[in-house]
Structure 1
Amino acid sequence: MRILVVTDAWYPQVNGVVRTLGTLRDELTRFGHETIFVTPDQFRSLPCPTYPEIRLAIRPGRRMARTIEANQPCAIHIATEGPLGWAARRYCLKRRVPFTTAYHTKFPEYIRARFRVPLPLSYKVMRRFHAPSSTIMVATQTIQSELETRGFQRIRRWSRGVDTTLFRPRSREELKGLVPDLLALQKPIFLYVGRVAVEKNIAAFLGADLSGTKVVVGDGPQIDELRRRHPDVLFTGAKQGEELAAHYSAASVFVFPSRTDTFGLVLLEALASGVPVAAYPVPGPLDVIGNSPAGVLDRDLAVAARAALGISADVCRAHALSFSWEACTHQFLDNLSPFDPLALIESGS
Structure 2
Amino acid sequence: MPKLLIVTDAWRPQINGVVRSIEHLVRDLEALNVEVDILSPAEFRTVPMPGYPEIRLALATPWRVSRRIAQSAPDFIQIATEGPLGMLARLVARKQDGYTTSYHTRFPEYVSARLPVPEAWMYAVMRRFHNSGRGCFVATESLRRELAGKGFENLHIWSRGVDTTLFNPDYPPPLDLPRPVFLHVGRMAVEKNVEAFLEMDLPGSKLVVGDGPQLDDFRARYSDVTFTGAKSGRELAALYAMGDVFVFPSRTDTFGLVLLEALASGVPIAAYPVTGPKDIIGESAAGIVDEDLRKAALACLDLSRDDARDRAMAFSWQACARQFMDAVYKSYGIDRP
Identical-residue share of aligned pairs (%): 55
Paired letter, 1:152 = F
Q: Is 1:82 paired with 2:74?
A: no
Quote how far apart the aligned CAs of 1:301 are.
Answer: 1.0
3-state SS of paired residue (1:175): coil
Shift of 1:60: 3.3
Which aligned runs of 4 or more in structure 1 are off by greater than 3 angstroms? none
Give distance in 2, aligned partners of 1:175 and 1:29. Answer: 34
- Quote the residue 1:153 is aligned against: 153
**Residue type matched to 1:36 in 2?**
D
Residue among 257, 261, 280 paired with 1:265: 257
Amino acid paired to 1:141: E
The one-letter code of the counterpart of 2:154 is R
Which residue of structure 2 aligns with residue 115 of structure 1? 115
Q: Which amino acid aligns with 2:22?
A: L
Report if aligned partners of 1:103, 1:138 keep a CA contact under 8 Å in 2.
Answer: yes
Alpha-carbon separation, structure 2, partners of 1:116 and 1:212? 39
Question: What secondary structure does 1:142 align onto?
Answer: helix
Q: Residue 255 of structure 1 is aligned with which of 240, 247, 250?
A: 247
Hey, what's the Cα distance between the residues in 1 that align with 2:277 and 2:116?
25
Q: Secondary structure at the match of 1:5?
A: strand
Task: Spell out, residue by residue over 1:173-196, the C-alpha distance to the aligned partner (whole angstroms, 9 max, x if none).
Answer: x425xx2xx2x1111111110111
State the partner residue of 1:130: 130
Q: Is 1:198 aligned to 2:195, yes or no?
A: no
In structure 2, what residue type is equivalent to 1:325?
W
Higher relative contact order (Cα pairs below 8 Å, separated by 6+ residues): 1
When the two chains are superposed, the root-mean-square deviation of aligned CA atoms in Å is: 1.2
Letter in 1 for 2:256: G
1:188–1:212 CA contact under 8 A, matched in 2:
yes
**1: CA distance between counterparts of 2:116 and 2:303?**
39
Tell whether the 8 Å contact from 1:60 to 1:83 is kept in structure 2 after alignment. Answer: no
Structure-to-structure mapping, 1:42-191, within 5 angstroms: 42-93=43-94, 95-170=95-170, 174-175=171-172, 179=174, 182=175, 184-191=176-183
The answer to whether the aligner puts 1:23 opposite 2:20 as a matched pair is no
SS in 1 for 2:114: helix
Per the TM alignment, residue 250 of structure 1 is displaced from its structure 2 partner at its CA by 0.8
Compute the displacement of 1:324 (Å).
Answer: 1.5
Residue 46 of structure 1 aligns to which amino acid in structure 2? V
In the TM superposition, what is the alpha-carbon distance from 1:336 to its structure 2 partner?
A: 1.4
> Which residue of the partner structure matches residue 302 of structure 2?
310
Q: Where in structure 1 are there 5+ consecutive unaligned residues?
A: 340-349
Q: How far apart are the structure 1 equivalents of 2:244 and 2:219?
A: 22
Write the mapping of 1:256-335 to structure 2, written as runs, cut at 5 A: 256-335=248-327
In the alignment, the residues of structure 1 paired with residue 157 and residue 36 of structure 2 have an alpha-carbon distance, to the nearest angstrom, of 21
- Per-residue displacement from partner, 1:260-316 (whole Å, max 9, x unpaired)? 000011000000010100000011111101221100111111111110011111101
Deviations 1:22-53 (A, max 9, x none): 00011011112110001111111100000011
Structure 2: runs of 5 or more not aligned:
333-337
The letter for the 2-side match of 1:272 is A
Deviations 1:183-231 (A, max 9, x none): x111111111011100000010001110111111000000111111101
Distance 2:101 2:61 in 1: 18
Distance (Å, rounded) in 2 between the aligned partners of 1:69 and 1:153: 28
Aligned residues: 330
Give SS of 2:217's match. Answer: helix
TM-score in terms of structure 1 length: 0.93
In structure 1, the residue matched to 2:335 is none
Q: Give TM-score, length-normalised by structure 2.
A: 0.96
